């Protein structure tokens, strides 16, 4: 496989825009790409993940959405990673082949979470079968134990993974277990794996440990601010980096108390970007008007550091 530039920085976990009657709205993807690039300075996307309600979409919808992101992102985005995990192995393999055929820059696979792998060998066996359908496409394991209930530690998973999955590129690490993350980074320096952190409110801690970048929902609408945090961290100006993390944390802490998930993320993105993200798909329920009013007032009240 041709070595490629390491993925660093922010990756927006894309929202799936829907029409008011619940159909996937492909017509706004072009505007969405332009918004991420020009307003948030975010040039990498992670499609059909948690925020994108990927597991609530049909295979056909997932394919069409992936195609649209790759097509609209051409010459504008640096990386379009498609989440191809599914509960059924053949479906996941089909999506992996499709992602390869349309020229995705990477694929990610979430662990199956109905019949769950109970140990590393079972998990790797599943991942290997998916990865082998797209052997030339960089492969990421999508670790999100709070949602999948699959708690196999990444430190253990990575041991010898290249022999089983030659296209293995890294991990989207959506867990608060920073000890596991630190061990992975420390033990895998030679491998050049990418560690993309997925708990936005704790990104600064993950950067300190050595995470390469981040995939998250908030980079859709707070990508610009978070990029300033990354710059401050790189300088290094830790006091400034902390300010940004505290402020994004203040917003998230506020909305989490109100009840915050994918439905609310869609609402926040709609009022911040002006792009209609529409309702979520059942079983998720649209954010209430009360949530929208309070979340908007909170975001508007935040005083970001000067010079921004």
Of 201, 267, 268, 270, the one binding ligand SI3 (CB under 6 A) is 201
Phi, psi dihedrals of residue 181, rounded to the nearest 5°: -60, -45
Asked if 172 is an active-site residue, the reply is yes
For residues 124 and 157, the answer to whether their CB atoms sit within 8 Å is yes
Of 215, 241, 263, 287, the one binding ligand SI3 (CB under 6 A) is 215
Residues linked to residue 81 through DSSP beta bridges, in sequence order = 46, 106
Residues 6+ apart with CB under 8 A from 15: 51, 52, 217, 220, 262, 265, 266, 269, 277
- Please identify which of the residues 140, 142, 197, 244 carries the catalytic annotation: 142
Q: How far is CA 33 from the centre of its chain?
A: 15
By CB under 6 A, tell whether 252 contacts ligand SI3.
yes
Reading phi first (left if > 0) and then psi (alpha if -120 to 50, else beta), residue 184 is in alpha
Residues 6+ apart with CB under 8 A from 154: 141, 143, 171, 173, 175, 180, 181, 184
User: Which C-beta is closer to ligand SI3: that of 193 or that of 197?
Assistant: 197
Buried b (16+ CB within 10 A) or exposed e, 5-15: eebebbbbbbb
Residues linked to residue 171 through DSSP beta bridges, in sequence order = 141, 195
Of 25, 92, 93, 174, the one binding ligand SI3 (CB under 6 A) is 174
Please give the structure tokens belonging to residue 229: 């945090």
C-beta of 51: minimal distance to ligand SI3 in Å? 3
Please tell me whether 109 is known to bind a ligand. no
Asked if 142 is an active-site residue, the reply is yes
- Per-position x/- string for 56-95, each x denoting binding to ligand SI3 as judged by CB under 6 A, each - no binding: ----------------------------------------
User: Which C-beta is closer to ligand SI3: that of 35 or that of 46?
Assistant: 46
Q: Which stretch binds ligand SI3 (CB under 6 A): 50-58, 67-75, 160-168, 266-274?
A: 50-58
C-beta neighbour count of 239 within 10 angstroms: 9
By CB under 6 A, tell whether 46 contacts ligand SI3.
yes
For residues 273 and 14, the answer to whether their CB atoms sit within 8 Å is no
User: Which C-beta is closer to ligand SI3: that of 132 or that of 267?
Assistant: 267
Residue nearest to ligand SI3 (CB): 49
Of 13, 57, 66, 86, the one binding ligand SI3 (CB under 6 A) is 13
Residues linked to residue 196 through DSSP beta bridges, in sequence order = 172, 213
By CB under 6 A, tell whether 218 contacts ligand SI3.
yes
C-beta of 197: minimal distance to ligand SI3 in Å? 8
C-beta of 176: minimal distance to ligand SI3 in Å? 10
**Residues in binding site:** 51, 215
**Residues in binding site for pyruvate:** 51, 215
Binding site for ligand SI3 (CB under 6 A): 13, 46, 49-52, 147, 174, 198-201, 215-218, 252
* Catalytic residue set: 142, 172
């Amino acid at each position: 496989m041709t070595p490629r530039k390491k993925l660093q920085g922010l990756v927006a976990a894309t929202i799936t825009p829907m029409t008011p009657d619940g159909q996937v709205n492909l017509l706004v993807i072009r505007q969405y790409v332009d918004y991420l690039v020009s307003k948030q300075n975010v040039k990498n996307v992670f499609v059909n993940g948690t925020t994108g309600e990927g597991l609530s979409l049909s295979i056909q919808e997932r394919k069409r959405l992936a195609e649209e992101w790759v097509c609209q992102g051409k010459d504008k985005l640096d990386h379009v990673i498609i989440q191809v995990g599914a509960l059924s192995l053949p479906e996941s393999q089909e999506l992996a082949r499709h992602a390869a055929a349309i020229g995705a820059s990477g694929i990610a696979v979430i662990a199956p979470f109905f019949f769950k792998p109970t140990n590393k060998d079972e998990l790797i066996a599943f991942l290997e079968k998916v990865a082998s359908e797209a052997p030339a496409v960089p492969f990421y394991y999508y670790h999100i134990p709070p949602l999948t209930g699959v708690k196999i530690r990444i430190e253990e998973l990575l041991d010898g993974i290249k022999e089983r999955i030659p296209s293995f590129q890294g991990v989207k690490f959506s867990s608060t277990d920073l000890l596991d993350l630190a061990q992975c980074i420390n033990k895998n320096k030679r491998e050049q794996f990418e560690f993309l952190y997925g708990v936005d409110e704790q990104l600064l801690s993950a950067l300190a440990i050595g995470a390469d970048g981040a995939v998250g929902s908030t980079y859709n609408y707070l990508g610009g601010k978070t990029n300033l945090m990354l710059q401050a961290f790189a300088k290094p100006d830790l006091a400034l980096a902390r300010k940004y993390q505290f402020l994004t944390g203040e917003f998230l802490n506020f909305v989490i108390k109100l009840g915050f998930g994918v439905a609310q993320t869609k609402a926040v993105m709609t009022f911040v970007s002006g792009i209609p993200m529409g309702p979520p798909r059942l079983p998720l329920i649209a954010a209430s008007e009360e949530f929208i009013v309070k979340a908007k007032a909170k975001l508007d009240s935040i005083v970001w550091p000067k010079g921004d």
